[in-house]
């Protein structure tokens, strides 16, 4: 019968780091779970016991014990994963942000403010940057910029004498009580 799988002995900083990670409330949940696997293995629990305690697959327990044995605490972190390459370079993203912060009239455009549609059209035609309005919105939001909503008639009136010019409300409108402080 093969010997049970146990994590290698860890000393000093590795041991302290595993103890901290296993109790952490701010580290990523996956990293905490992996540190608990190592900690339980160090305490002498078998793969099956660890899997049952943490409600994970025994293969998962084996994987993280082997990764810890090979790479130490750094092995518990997620590795970079393959994915779709970025569509826009940092320079192009900077161009989108810079254009959105520029007054359209300084660029010789006949409007005073940008909309996502206007910004997309300008970037496509003038800057030769094929980008959709939804992606522009995502980029601006990622940069911490908020898109201003268009004001509607529910907002504040431009004319300070609007109430006097409008005249009295109809008789069917209930009068609101005035609050006196």
Low-confidence stretches of the chain (pLDDT beneath 50): 1
62's CB contacts (< 8 A; 6+ apart) are 5, 47
Alpha carbon distances (Å) from 27 to 19, 33, 34, 76: 12, 10, 11, 12
Under DSSP, is residue 140 helix (H, G, I), strand (E, B) or coil? helix
CA nearest neighbour of 134 among 181, 83, 164, 96: 96
What is the percent of the chain with per-residue pLDDT over 90, rounded to a whole number? 49
**Are 167 and 173 a contacting pair, CB within 8 Å?**
no
- pLDDT for position 1: 42
pLDDT confidence of residue 99: 94
Q: What is the pLDDT of residues 144-154, one digit of tens each?
A: 887 665 555 55
The pTM score is 0.48
Q: Specify the 3-state DSSP secondary structure of 126.
A: coil
Q: Running DSSP on this structure, what letter comes out for residue 55?
A: T
């Amino acid at each position: 019968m093969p010997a049970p799988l146990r994590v290698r002995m860890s000393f000093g900083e590795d041991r302290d780091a595993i103890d901290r990670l296993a109790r952490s409330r701010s580290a990523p949940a996956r990293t905490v779970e992996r540190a608990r696997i190592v900690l339980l293995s160090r305490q002498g629990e078998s793969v099956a016991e660890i899997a049952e305690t943490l409600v994970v697959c025994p293969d998962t327990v084996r994987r993280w014990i082997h990764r810890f044995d090979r790479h130490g605490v750094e092995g518990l972190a997620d590795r970079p994963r393959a994915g779709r390459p970025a569509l826009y370079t940092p320079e192009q993203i900077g161009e989108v942000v810079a254009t959105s912060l520029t007054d359209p009239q300084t660029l010789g455009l006949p409007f005073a403010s940008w909309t996502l549609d206007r910004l997309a059209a300008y970037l496509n035609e003038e800057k030769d940057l094929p980008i959709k309005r939804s992606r522009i919105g995502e980029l601006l939001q990622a940069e911490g910029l908020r898109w201003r909503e268009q004001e509607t008639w529910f907002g504040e009136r431009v004319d300070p004498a609007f109430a006097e010019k409008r005249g009295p409300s109809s008789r069917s409108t209930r009068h609101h009580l005035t609050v006196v402080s």
